[in-house]
Structure 1
Amino acid sequence: MVAGGDIGALENMIICPTARGFMLARDPISLSTFLWSSQTRLKIELPPLGLDVDDDLLIQCNCLLSDKPTAPGCVVLLAQPDAPLIWFCHVGDSQWEKYEYDIGTMALPDWDPPEEKVVICPITACRGKFYFNSNTTSLDVIDFCGGLAAPVFGSIAVEDTIGECHAKVFLVESRDQLYMVRLLGVNASEPYHGATVHRMDFSKRQWCAVDDLGGCTFLLSIYEFGASFSGDGRCGLRQDCVYFPDRHRKTLQVFNVKDGSTELQKLDEAPAVSDRAFWVLPSNL
């Protein structure tokens, strides 16, 4: 929840960020829901989002926009991080739709039960579609097919150009291109020792390694959130770098894609609630 300060319509709202700079906001009492741009103060009304998505869950969800929210047919999608559920609506709809999907199960040999359903994570929107759960040989996709009410799930076979390794994966859209960022690490108790970035070549159906981000900056955050910033030197962010805050160790890691260097910055003064922090980006209409 955001409280106080010069935050306009976000005061006392439960919010969830999007990679397009808009924030999804819901009044915890009236349940009125809208998209809000902190840059332009533009407010776009959405249908009320019910309490089957409670406050804590809403903060953790991935919220994505298929296009600029002022564009005809823009889809707003919420992906729950711990269950095979999504909620979606088109801007201008009268209600949200809840959709339970089944994209397979994963083995958990030391758990009871020994398997659970695969969930959508990570996910990003690119060119009007939603791409998720990328691996070395496939890329899954959700398409609303020109405004149809129900989502269509599919998968794209991808040529294996990466190889397996222990990595945390993020998907990022930047300038209408789809990227996959992998933070490399041996175990969860240590900081990541590096990062690789690949761009999807849809014509060849393969991930292509890149050694720059076209001057942009990639901002990663908890719950597999990834966004691209213009990287023009504003806000002290460096071009062609990937930023990742580690809430557990109160650190900020910066990975330079051009020279492969890694920098670890201590955030000892970060508040106790910093595990709910996220990037606030400018919205571009």
Structure 2
Amino acid sequence: MDKTNRVPCLALYVKHGAGSDKPALFSISEKRAINNNIPGLTNTNSWVTPHGWILVLDTASTATFLQNPHDSTDKIQLPHRTCTAVPHVCSPASPDPWLCRLGPSLGWQGPREGADMLDRQGKFYFNGGFESIGVLEFSPSPTFSCIAIIDPIIGGLGVMGMASLYMVESLDELYMVCQMYDSDMKTIYDVTVYRMDFLKQQWCIAEDIGGRAFLVASCYFGASRSADECGLEKDCVYSIFARDKYFEVCKVEDGETEEYDLIEAPDSQGGMWILPVEKK
């Protein structure tokens, strides 16, 4: 893969005229718009994943596939969807994951309870807040369970309305990024990263994240990447605020935060990270 394809960029949901409804792609390293040559991609039929692939639903049919955003010819075909319209954003307040089976029984299934779902050691974990973690596993049918957290960080969840939580799988560990908002619900005054200790069933404050960089975006997902490979700062959390045209870089060790403007980016209703594609 070309070195430039290892640097995360942004997909911004902008209001277009009659000519196009494609998301605009924007390079954070070069601070300029880049070509969006992904065929069939629109503002309402695509979902970027933590592994870099873009899930695309063909609006002219029921076809679905995973698209490499850096190579228009590289795609992975998925089963045709048999369900109704899939929601375009996820919300921890009303979580509804949709499942696409690739095993013996191919097909789509949804919605089910859960959000911000990620894979670790064959199990899927999703946000339950500070007091619990939801778990989805297949044995072989979908089975949901819950891990109760011992000594929750914030008793009674009194601040849940003033915090954004993102779960991130990194190097086979489960982390949670917590962004605390001021009373105006716009200003972030604290960013803390926690690591799950499964033996103690507790969230523990992380002093580092193994030289990685975490990338989060409101209503989407948290992802982990090698900072060295992507030209990012080690042990930092990258947060995008597309509507306000800036992103933040917060150091895990001491919480020191720097803002970087995106003045050159187009006006948008929201944005998410497009990451280097992981191939195994």
TM category, shorter: 0.7 to 0.9
Residue in structure 1 matching 2:176, options 170, 173, 180: 180
Aligned to 1:53, the other structure's residue is in SS state coil
CA contact (8 A) 2:220 2:272 kept: no
Alignment-derived partner of residue 194 in structure 2: 198
Identity %, equivalent residues: 34
Residue in structure 2 matching 1:52, options 81, 84, 96: 84
| Aligned CA distance change for structure 1 residues 3 and 31 (closer, same or farther; 3 Å) | farther
- Counterpart of 2:150 in structure 1: which amino acid? E
| Aligned CA distance change for structure 1 residues 45 and 141 (closer, same or farther; 3 Å) | same
| Aligned CA distance change for structure 1 residues 100 and 198 (closer, same or farther; 3 Å) | closer
List runs of 5+ in structure 1 lacking aligned partners.
62-79, 102-119
Number of paired residues? 241
- Counterpart of 1:213 in structure 2: which amino acid? I
**Matches of 1:136 and 1:83, distance apart in 2:** 17
Structure 1 residue 141 corresponds to structure 2 residue 163:
no
CA contact (8 A) 1:3 1:11 kept: no
Alignment-derived partner of residue 11 in structure 1: 39
Which of 29-38 and 192-201 deviates more? 29-38
CA contact (8 A) 1:184 1:192 kept: yes
Aligned to 2:133, the other structure's residue is in SS state strand
Correspondences of 1:72-87 after superposition (within 5 Å): 83=94, 85-87=96-98
Shift of 1:262: 1.0
Shift of 1:202: 0.9
Correspondences of 1:178-257 after superposition (within 5 Å): 178-232=174-228, 234-235=230-231, 237-257=232-252
CA-to-partner distance for each residue in 1:41-99, whole Å, 9 max, x for gaps?
64221112357225xx33x24xxxxxxxxxxxxxxxxxx76755432122255321234
Alignment-derived partner of residue 125 in structure 1: 119
CA contact (8 A) 1:121 1:224 kept: no
| Aligned CA distance change for structure 1 residues 7 and 267 (closer, same or farther; 3 Å) | closer
Aligned to 2:216, the other structure's residue is in SS state strand
Alignment-derived partner of residue 98 in structure 1: 110
Aligned to 1:239, the other structure's residue is in SS state coil
**Matches of 2:182 and 2:67, distance apart in 1:** 39
Could you tell me the TM-score, scaled by structure 1's length?
Answer: 0.74
Q: Does 1 or 2 have the higher relative contact order (CA < 8 Å, sep 6+)?
A: 2
List runs of 5+ in structure 2 lacking aligned partners.
1-21, 26-33
Aligned to 1:20, the other structure's residue is in SS state coil
**Matches of 2:275 and 2:95, distance apart in 1:** 27
Task: Give the CA RMSD over aligned residues.
Answer: 2.7
Could you tell me the TM-score, scaled by structure 2's length?
Answer: 0.75
